[in-house]
């Protein structure tokens, strides 16, 4: 299974942008890049996903490097509610499952 590498933790100030990096150097051409987050005491929550082009939705933006070996999840204005563990996952052609790594724990300071 293709793996992703994320920092263990990051900190941000409330109302500032946050850039969460993810490396996936073994990605193949048809793997989708998914981001999920897990707030304390809740189930994982879908954030965004993409294949090659940058993607935007109401929650976040996903910037994908041209060679697709890395991506960045962008929260435009962090709120206290965004404090969570963020998981970068490769969704592979031959598999329907999500393989969660250890993720990045985001702390948001008021």
Asked whether position 51 contacts another protein by CB under 8 A, the answer is: yes
Cβ atoms 18, 10 nearer than 8 A: yes
Asked whether position 37 contacts another protein by CB under 8 A, the answer is: no
Nearer to another protein, 14 or 99 (CB): 99
Q: Which of 18, 22, 34, 60 binds another protein (CB under 8 A)?
A: 34
Query: Using CA atoms, how far apart are residues 19 and 100, in angstroms rounded to an integer?
Result: 20
What number of other Cβ atoms are within 10 A of residue 69's Cβ?
Answer: 13
Asked whether position 43 contacts another protein by CB under 8 A, the answer is: yes
Site for another protein in 63-102 (CB under 8 A): 87, 91-93, 95-102
Asked whether position 61 contacts another protein by CB under 8 A, the answer is: no
Asked whether position 10 contacts another protein by CB under 8 A, the answer is: no
Q: Using CB under 8 A as the criterion, which residues of the chain lie in contact with another protein when the complex forms?
A: 30-32, 34, 36, 38, 42-46, 49, 51, 87, 91-93, 95-102
């Amino acid at each position: 299974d293709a793996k992703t590498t994320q920092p263990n933790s990051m900190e941000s100030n409330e109302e500032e942008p946050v850039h969460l990096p993810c490396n996936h150097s073994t990605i193949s051409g048809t793997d989708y890049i998914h981001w999920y987050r897990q707030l304390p005491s809740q189930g994982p929550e879908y954030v965004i996903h993409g294949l090659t082009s940058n993607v935007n939705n109401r929650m976040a933006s996903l910037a994908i490097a041209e060679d697709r070996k890395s991506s960045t999840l962008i929260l435009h204005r962090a709120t206290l509610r965004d404090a969570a563990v963020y998981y970068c996952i490769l969704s592979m052609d031959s598999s329907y499952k999500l393989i969660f790594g250890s993720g990045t724990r985001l702390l948001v300071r008021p």
